[in-house]
Structure 1
Amino acid sequence: MGQPDESPRERREPMSRIGLASVDDGPPAGAEFAASLREAVARFVRLDSLLGSGAVVDAVVRCFRDAQRVLASGRYRTELERDLRAAAAELGEVAGWMLIDARRHDDARLINSAALRLARLAGDTSMQWFILSNQALASTNSGRPREALRISEHFGEDSRVPTRVRALFRLRKARALGELGDETAALHAFDHARATFGDGVSGRDPAWAWWFNERELDGHAGSLHASLGRHGAALPLLNSAVELASEAVSQRWALHVHRACLLDSALAAGDVAEAERAATAVVPTLGRRSSVRTEHLLHRAVVREAGPSSTLSDVLEHIRRRLPPR
C-alpha cells in the first residue's frame, strides 16, 4: 500500500460515499458491479494509507459483506462469476488486513477464510498466497504461532511459489519461530528469507508483491530481534526501516509503526539518546493515522523506564496523554 499526498477533501470524505453499485433492483450484476468492487479496493487502500485502518475498517468489511451477499444470491451474470469472485476475494484481503492492523484477530480470521474460499473458487492462486501470508502474520500475533509455522513452511518451501512470495513466507516462518522462543531457528530462518529476497523478483511474482521490499524486510528483522529480547540488535534495523520509509513518498504510511517499534526497543535497550530521538519523531504523527497496532506498541513503550532523562520522561508523558485509551 502506498501513501500519496493527502488532501483536506480526502480527509473529510464520509465513508458512506464509498460503496458498491446497487444490484437490489434491476438486472443481475454485471461488469459495472465487478468494476465497483475493483474501485472499492483501490479507494480503501488509499484511505488506509492516508487515515489508517481504524478510519475505514468497518466500511470495507461492510462492502465485502455486500459483495458476498450478491454472490450468494446468484443475482449476477454467470459469465462474470469468476471475475466477480476474484474481485470480491481481493476486497476481502483488504478487509482482513485492516482487521489485523485493528487487532481484531477473530474477525480477521473469519474474513480471511471467506476471502480465501472466493479466491480458490476463482482460481486466483496469487490472491490465495496474499491472504495466507497475512493470516500467517496474524496467527503469530494472536497466540497461534504453530499455525503460522505450518502455513509458512508449506508455501515457503514450495518451488512452484515464485521467488519474492517464497521470501515473504520464509519471513513469516522466522517471525513464528521467534514467537515460539526458538532464537537460533528464528534467526536462521530469517537469514534464509533475506537470501531468497536477494534473488530478486521473478517474472512469476504477482503485482501485489511490490510492497515487500528492503524496508519491510528490515522492519520485520528489527521486530524479530525485539521479540527475542535482542533490543540492541533491533535498533539499527528499525532505524533503517524508518529511514527507507522516510525516503519514499509511497512508503511513508509505514513510518508510524516503524517509529513505534523503534521507540519501544530503544527504551527496552536503555538507549536514552535513541529513545529521545524516536519519541520526538513520534509526537507530530499522533492522531494523524488510526492504527490500533501502532497504538498498542506506543502504549507498551510509554510505560517503560525513561532513565535519568527528564526530557524523555516529558515526551513520553505527552505521548501517553495523546494516545487513545486501551
Structure 2
Amino acid sequence: MALLDETAGPAVLDRRGFLIMQAGLAAAIAERWLAVEPPKVNAALQGGRVDAVLLDCFEQRLPALRRMDASLGGGSVRSLVDAELRLVTDLLNQGSYSATAGNRLLSIAAELGRIAGWASFDAGFHAAAERYWFAALHAAHSASDRATGANILKCMSLQRVDTERPSEALRLADAARAGAKHAPPRVRAMLTTRLARTHAVLGESLACEKRLAEADAEMSHADEQPSPAWASYFDHAEYAAQVAACYLLLERHRASDHWLQQTLALQPAERSRDRATYLIWRAESVLNLGDVEHACALVSEAAPDVAATRSVRNHRRLLDIHGRLTAHRHPAALALDERVRSLLT
C-alpha cells in the first residue's frame, strides 16, 4: 500500500529518462517474487464499501485504456492512467471491502500500474516506468495474481533490453515464465516468446529457437482456454511480430520478413502504433536484403502513424531507419527524406 501511495501521482512527474534501480536489483526482485508466498488481504478499512458493481466498473475500463495506449502512444495516456491508479489506491486506503473484493481491487491496481509503466516506457520516462512496475508487481503479489505479476516482469524485461542490460532482461523473462507455468496457453506463449527474444538479444540462436518451438506449441492451443483480458492483444498477429523480432535480432532477415508480412496482414487497424513499429522492422529487414526502394516505401507508410502518436520509442526507430536509408542516396530515399522531415516538423 505504501508503494502504491508513493507511486500514483509522483511517478508521472518523474521526467528522468534513465533507470534508477541499480544493476541486478530488478532481477533479484523478480526471483524473490517467484519464491515468496503471497499474503492475503485481511481487515477492511474505514470508509465506503467497495462492492462488485464498482469493481466491475473499474475492470470494464481497463480495455479502453489499453486501446488508447495502443492507438495514441504512451505520452498521450500516461496521466489518464495515473489518475485512475490514484483513485483505486485511495479506495484501497480508505474504502471498506471483503478479502475477495480487496484482491480484485489489488489486481486492478496492478494492471493499472502495468499500463502506466508501459505508457511511461513508451514515452521515454524509464524511472517512472520502473516505479509503476515495482508497485504493480507488489500489488499483483498481494492479490495472489501470478499471471499479472508475470506480465509485469515481461514488461520490465523489455525495458532492460532497450537499456542494454540483456543479462538482467533474461533473468526477468525467465522468472516471468517460471511464475506463470500454470497460466493459460496464450499467456505462456506470450512469456515464452519474450524469453526467446532475450536469448536473441544475447546472440544465443539455439536457445532462442528452442523457446520459439515451445511458444509455437503453446500458441497452437491459445484458443482452447480462456485467458486474462490483458492477454487478448497477444493474438496471431502479435505472435508473428514477436517471432519476427527474434529473427531480426539474429540477422536472419528473410525469416524476419516472412513473419512480418504475416503480422502486417493480420494487424488490427486500431493498433496504429504497433503497425508503425512492424512496418519499420520490415523496412530494416528489406534494407538488409538489399531492396532500398521497398524499404523506403515501408517507412513512408509508417511515418504518418509515428508522427500522429506520442511514442518516443517509435520516433527513435523512425529517425534511425530514416538515417540509414538517406545514406544510400537513392531517389526513393531522397523523396522519403522530405516526407519524414515535413511530418516530424
Q: Does the alignment reach a TM-score above 0.5?
A: yes
Please identify, of 44-53 and 208-217, the stretch whose mean Cα deviation from structure 2 is larger: 44-53
Pair 205,84 (structure 1): closer, same or farther in 2 beyond 3 Å: closer
The amino acid across from 1:274 in the alignment is: H
Q: How does 1:282-301 map to 2 (within 5 A)?
A: 282-301=302-321
Please identify, of 93-102 and 306-315, the stretch whose mean Cα deviation from structure 2 is larger: 306-315
Q: Which residue of structure 1 aligns with residue 95 of structure 2?
A: 76
Query: How well do the aligned residues superpose, as a CA RMSD in angstroms?
Result: 2.7
The amino acid across from 1:304 in the alignment is: R
Q: Which residue of structure 2 aligns with residue 276 of structure 1?
A: 296
Q: CA offset at residue 43 of structure 1?
A: 3.8
Pair 106,191 (structure 1): closer, same or farther in 2 beyond 3 Å: farther
Pair 210,286 (structure 1): closer, same or farther in 2 beyond 3 Å: closer
Instruction: Using structure 1 for the length normalisation, give the TM-score.
Output: 0.79
Is residue 343 of structure 2 the alignment partner of residue 322 of structure 1?
yes
Q: Which residue of structure 2 aligns with residue 223 of structure 1?
A: 245
The amino acid across from 2:301 in the alignment is: A
Distance in 2, Cα, partners of 1:52 & 1:64? 18
- 1:245-296 CA distances to partner (integer Å, 9 max, x unpaired)? 1xx4455553121112222333344312321320231244343222222112
Distance in 2, Cα, partners of 1:181 & 1:271? 25
Q: Which residue of structure 2 aligns with residue 122 of structure 1?
A: 143
User: Which structure 1 segments of 5+ residues have no match?
Assistant: 1-25
RCO greater where, 1 or 2, for CA within 8 Å and sep 6 or more?
Answer: 2
Pair 112,286 (structure 1): closer, same or farther in 2 beyond 3 Å: closer
The amino acid across from 1:262 in the alignment is: R
Q: How does 1:159-178 map to 2 (within 5 A)?
A: 159-178=181-200
2:82 equivalent among 55, 61, 70: 61
Pair 115,76 (structure 1): closer, same or farther in 2 beyond 3 Å: same
Give the 3-state SS of the residue equivalent to 1:205 in structure 2.
coil
Q: Which residue of structure 2 aligns with residue 30 of structure 1?
A: 50
Instruction: Using structure 2 for the length normalisation, give the TM-score.
Output: 0.75
Q: Which residue of structure 1 aligns with residue 115 of structure 2?
A: 94
1:258 equivalent among 278, 301, 324: 278
Pair 319,232 (structure 1): closer, same or farther in 2 beyond 3 Å: farther
Contact 1:37 1:91 survives alignment (8 Å) = no
Q: Which residue of structure 1 aligns with residue 255 of structure 2?
A: 233
Pair 58,226 (structure 1): closer, same or farther in 2 beyond 3 Å: same
Contact 2:273 2:306 survives alignment (8 Å) = no
Q: CA offset at residue 214 of structure 1?
A: 1.8
Q: CA offset at residue 164 of structure 1?
A: 1.8
The amino acid across from 1:143 in the alignment is: E
Q: How does 1:139-158 map to 2 (within 5 A)?
A: 139-156=160-177
Identity percentage of aligned residues: 26
* Runs of 4+ deviating beyond 6 Å: none
The amino acid across from 2:284 in the alignment is: D
Q: Which residue of structure 2 aligns with residue 13 of structure 1?
A: none
Q: Which residue of structure 1 aligns with residue 40 of structure 2?
A: none
Q: CA offset at residue 30 of structure 1?
A: 2.9
